[in-house]
Amino acid sequence: MGPVFAVVLVFVGCCSNVVFLELLVRDFPGCGNIVTFAQFVFIALEGFIFETNFGRKKPAIPISNYVIMVTMFFTVSVINNYALNFNIAMPLHMIFRSGSLIANMILGIIILKKRYSASKYLSIALVSAGIFICTIMSAKQVNVSNEGSEDQGFYNFMHWLIGIAMLTFALLMSARMGIFQETLYKKYGKHSKEALFYNHCLPLPGFLLLSTNIYNHCVLFSQSTPTLIPGVELTVPIMWIYLLINVITQYVCIRGVFILTTECASLTVTLVVTLRKFLSLIFSIIYFQNPFTTWHWVGTAVVFVGTLLYTEVWSSVRAALRGPDAKEKKAE
């Protein structure tokens, strides 16, 4: 029941989260900071009550290590959301972030001196090629949409390139954070829920640097279309409703991933998260009618196949199918 429930939480929570994030971004492309802030406050408050028992429980991992981890986590979260301000379409944003496995592997080779099988290196090539195809196709769309004014088109294209650079930096920083977490967990043991709380609580003062942007979007959200909430007869601006649902679904998604990490093998977790990203991408394209060419589909498929190859799903499926026969042979 536990793992099945967790998978349902991940798919329902994360897919719903993408929908409401896109609804927010469509009307206010620069709202990434207020979304990130709201998610951090909600998760930090929940962790303060239920994980630290109102601050009475001491952390198992030293705070100094959390400060390093939090600096990286805050940077990644803010940059990923802020990149949406730079002509980055939501489908491309999701495709780019699906390269996290590969970024983690590359840094593992460089920093931890790890070595992998040939299939792992092939998966690197496939995912990199898929992201490259989608990125190039998106670049062409940026150029085509701005053909009327050459100067404006060049400005928008350079603006888009900055967004791509931000996503690349966030991808590598996220992978570096993953390696740092791996070394911490080896030393102090796994404390995923504790890490979740400190990763969202400690960065909160950093949002003071973004306070002007957050306040401006609070004003804009309050000026959005009023919507009557059934049952309570209360009128609330629609953007605040979208934000609240986005925050709740983000929490549901993270809780689902946490339950999975405690009850399933890492391979299962990776596969579930990858499938969730793929379904979120398809839903975003179909429901919001985001521009998506044949080449985008090719790139997405290549990324997906490369990720499955990395997680050795094919080998696991084959082993599961011939499991009984293999056991009988061993018994003989």
Mean pLDDT of 75-89: 81
How far apart are the C-alpha atoms of 16 and 321, rounded to whole Å? 33
Mean pLDDT of 89-111: 75
What's residue 286's pLDDT? Answer: 74
How far apart are the C-alpha atoms of 109 and 115, rounded to whole Å? 6
Q: What is the mean pLDDT of the chain?
A: 81
Instruction: Let me know whether 304 and 265 are in one domain.
Output: no
- Report percent pLDDT > 70 for the chain: 84
Instruction: Let me know whether 22 and 42 are in one domain.
Output: yes
Instruction: Let me know whether 88 and 179 are in one domain.
Output: yes
Q: Phi and psi for 228 in degrees, rounded to 5?
A: -85, 125
Q: Write the Ramachandran bin of 114: left for phi over 0, alpha for psi from -120 to 50, otherwise beta.
A: beta
Asked whether residue 147 is assigned to any structural domain, the reply reads: no
Summarize pLDDT for 118-144 with one digit per residue, the tens.
887 887 788 778 877 776 776 666 555
Instruction: Let me know whether 274 and 303 are in one domain.
Output: no
Summarize pLDDT for 157-194 with one digit per residue, the tens.
888 889 889 988 988 888 888 788 878 878 888 787 88
What's residue 40's pLDDT? Answer: 92
Instruction: Let me know whether 130 and 235 are in one domain.
Output: no
Instruction: Let me know whether 285 and 210 are in one domain.
Output: yes
Which H or E run contains 228?
Answer: strand 226-229
Asked whether residue 332 is assigned to any structural domain, the reply reads: no
What the block records as the tokens of 24 is 């927010």
What the block records as the tokens of 300 is 């997405």
Instruction: Let me know whether 221 and 310 are in one domain.
Output: no
Q: Into how many domains does the chain fold?
A: 2
How far apart are the C-alpha atoms of 96 and 211, rounded to whole Å? 28
Asked whether residue 34 is assigned to any structural domain, the reply reads: yes
Task: Write down the pTM of the prediction.
Answer: 0.72
Asked whether residue 251 is assigned to any structural domain, the reply reads: yes
Asked whether residue 327 is assigned to any structural domain, the reply reads: no
Instruction: Let me know whether 13 and 107 are in one domain.
Output: no
What's residue 98's pLDDT? Answer: 65
Instruction: Let me know whether 9 and 67 are in one domain.
Output: no
Summarize pLDDT for 215-268 with one digit per residue, the tens.
999 999 999 999 988 887 789 999 999 999 999 998 888 888 877 776 765 556
What's residue 314's pLDDT? Answer: 66
Asked whether residue 81 is assigned to any structural domain, the reply reads: yes
Q: Which among 275, 272, 96 has a CA at the least distance from the CA of 169?
A: 96
Q: Which among 264, 284, 276, 265 has a CA at the least distance from the CA of 304?
A: 276
Higher pLDDT, 147 or 156: 156
Instruction: Let me know whether 65 and 120 are in one domain.
Output: yes
3-state secondary structure of 60: coil
Instruction: Let me know whether 302 and 180 are in one domain.
Output: yes
How far apart are the C-alpha atoms of 29 and 159, rounded to whole Å? 14
Mean pLDDT of 58-87: 86
Asked whether residue 110 is assigned to any structural domain, the reply reads: yes
The residue count of the chain comes to: 332
Contacts with 251 (C-beta within 8 Å, 6 or more apart), sequence order: 13, 39, 42, 43, 46
Tally of CB atoms within 10 A around 62: 10
Tally of CB atoms within 10 A around 130: 25
Asked whether residue 330 is assigned to any structural domain, the reply reads: no
How far apart are the C-alpha atoms of 101 and 254, rounded to whole Å? 18
Instruction: Let me know whether 279 and 175 are in one domain.
Output: no
What the block records as the tokens of 52 is 């630290």
**Please, which pLDDT band fits residue 327 given cuts at 50, 70 and 90?**
very low
Full residue range of the structural domain in which residue 50 is found: 1-58+191-289
